[in-house]
Structures are given as C-alpha cells and as structure tokens.
Amino acid sequence: MLQLKAELSATLAAHADSAQRVQRYQERLIPIAEQALENSRTAYESGQLSVLELIDSERALLEMNLNYARAVSKVTQADAALNALTGAIN
C-alpha cells in the first residue's frame, strides 16, 4: 500500500510538471519563437540577416514544437499511469 501511494504521488508530480511545461510552451515559448522567426524573415528580406541565421530561427521554432510534443506525450503517459494505478478505465 505504501509503495502504491509513493508511485501515485510521483506520477501526480510528473503529470503536474509536464502539464505546466505544456502550458508554458503553448502560452510563452512557442509564440516567442514564432515572433523571432517572423522578425528573422523580415530582417532576411531586407538584407539584414544571413540565410544561416534565418535557418537557425526556423530550427529554434521546430525544436520548441518538438519539446512541446514531448511534454504532451509525458502528460498522456502520466494519465495512463494514473489510470493504471487507480484502476480507472476511460
């Protein structure tokens, strides 16, 4: 019983952490990376930025989206683990 409580507590903490990450990516990090990419495109079009710097901005946005997807995956995994620990079936 004590082990089950410990697993449940750890899984709840992992779920909360991942859910906060998802929210942070949605509300702050991805929009900032999108704006940075837009700024880079504008600067590139006006000759103020090299193509490599533009590509770096695109890479940064792709990385943000990948990290967001990983965080969503961890939330889903924690949901499944919570369901398994509590016996819930959806």
- pLDDT surpassing 70 at residue 89: no
Mind listing the pLDDT tens digit for each residue in 55-74? 999 999 999 999 999 999 99
Q: How far apart are CA 6 and CA 20, in angstroms?
A: 21
Which strand (E) or helix (H) includes residue 89? none
Q: Is the pLDDT of residue 90 over 60?
A: no
The answer, yes or no, to whether residue 38 has pLDDT greater than 90, is yes
For the chain, what are the domain ranges?
16-85
**What's the mean per-residue pLDDT of the chain?**
94
**Please, which pLDDT band fits residue 5 given cuts at 50, 70 and 90?**
confident
Residues 53, 29, 39, 54, Cα dihedral to 10°:
20
pLDDT at 88: 65
C-alpha pair distances (Å), 14 with each of 17, 34, 63: 5, 28, 22
